[in-house]
Structure formats: structure tokens, C-alpha cells
Amino acid sequence: ALAWVINWFVKRSQDGASGLLYPLLNWINVSAVIIALIIMLPISEQTRGQVLSLLGVVLTAVIALSSTTIVLNAMAGVMLQATQPFRPGDYIRVNDQFGRVIKRTLVNTQIQTEWRDLTTLPNLLLINSPVNVLYREGTIIFAEVSLGYDIAYTRVEELMQRAALAAGLEEPFVLVHELLDHAVAYRVCGFLPSSENLLSARSNLRKTVLEQMHGNDIEIVSPKFINQRELDPEQKVVPAVPVMRVRR
């Protein structure tokens, strides 16, 4: 009865770790039933004691011979439950795996990838590897684009901030990410209030960047596109109106 109550409580918990102890409770239930059957058998006290002793030896042997990996994953699951580094609904990235956390159990964690596939990660991996967590309450997303040196960066900042606002992002800002041999790499960033639609939000940001660039007749020359042109040796590849900041 006690095992049933604990089982019901864990399955009904609202902390996002539903069913975390479910496999362990199943073992407890089975063991309790076996012990109860032995106690109810019409045998002598001495025989009953011997049977219970034998059962204890068998259970000890099973635990001792159990896979070390399963035990380590179970211990890792308990640690994840105690530390709560992420919850169902959060997006996590572990090595090459990225997706939204669906469920966490005693030995593994399930994530849903961008293609709606389910990937099961052993809890030991989540303990031994760095985990990048994107909380569902909001995160910063970004998009990168490379433009020619003949475009003033102030113009690029203006258009990319418009693109971020059009994509529904808050407090957008633009970084000059890198000066390449053939182009300038820019990164537009903004705060996404809710990461429920993280993947589509990233796609929408890239779309609005394309719309702003092409709509204002600005050519995108990257990330892996190199454009070779015949230029007058005397012609300089600089903005028509260079940006000059006055230092005070």
C-alpha cells in the first residue's frame, strides 16, 4: 500500500520530473508481493526464514551483478533531480544533440529534435558533458550575414535592427562579428520572450534579414560565396559616405 501511494504521488507530481522513480517503484512493488506471498505460504517458521534468507541472497546477487552503467545512470538521475539544471520544456544542447526536453526518468532523458524525432540520452552523459540550456522563459537568438566592405556598417545596423523587430524580438542589437577577406560578418541578436517556438523564430529572423537586405538593394556575399569582379585599380571598395566618429 505504501509503495502504491508513493508511486501515485510521483506520477502525479508537477515538478516536471513525472515518473522519475517509476522503474524503482516497480521493483519495490514486485519485491513486496514476493515477500508477502512467502509470508502467507503454509510453511513452518524455520522454512519461511530459510526462504526469506535465500531471497535476500538472490536479491543481493542481482544487485551486485547488475550493469554498472545502469547503476551509474540511476545515480546520475538522482543528481539531476536534486540539482534541477533543466526542466521539461527547456531546450538543451549536449554535444551534437539539440532538442526540447520531453521527459526525464531515473536512467535517461528524452528530447524532441527539430524534426520531431525523440532522442534518448543517458543521464550519465548529461552529468559528464557540458549542457547548454535555453530556458523556456526566454532566450537570445541571433542570425549572421556577411556583406561587402562598400556598405556602411551604420546602414547595416539600422536594417538588421528593423529585421529583428519585425521578427518579434525585443531589445535587438547588432555586432560586427568578423572582418573577413572578402566581406564583413555581422550578427544581429534579440531577446525572444518565449522559447516555445524557438526553431521557427530563428527561421523568421533569417527571413526578415533577407527581406530588409534585398528590399534595400543590399547584396549578400556570403557565407561561402566569393564574388570576383574586374575593378579599376584606382577604385576603392569603401562606402560612398564613410562613417567617421568624432572622439571626445
Q: How do residues 38-62 score in pLDDT, each as one tens digit?
A: 777 777 778 878 888 888 887 777 6
Is a pLDDT exceeding 70 seen at residue 2?
A: no
Domain ranges of the chain: 2-65, 78-134, 139-215
- Cα–Cα distances in Å, from 207 out to 97, 136, 143, 167? 25, 23, 10, 8
Pick from 111, 84, 82: nearest CA to 97: 111
Gap between the Cα atoms of 74 and 114, Å rounded: 28
Q: Which residue has the cell 549542457?
A: 131
Judge whether 92 and 98 are in contact, CB under 8 Å.
yes
3-state secondary structure of 92: strand
- Cα–Cα distances in Å, from 197 out to 13, 132, 171, 182? 26, 18, 18, 34
* CATH T-level assignment (fold) for domain 139-215: Alpha-Beta Plaits (3.30.70)
Out of 1.20.1440.120, 1.20.140.10, 2.30.30.60, 2.60.40.420, select the CATH number for domain 78-134: 2.30.30.60
- Residue 41, all three cell numbers: 505460504
Considering the entire predicted model, what is its pTM?
0.60
Type of residue found at 104: R
Q: What pLDDT band is residue 16 in, cutting at 50, 70 and 90?
A: very low
Gap between the Cα atoms of 202 and 167, Å rounded: 9
Comparing 13-27, 75-89, 155-169, 186-200, which segment has the lowest mean pLDDT? Answer: 13-27
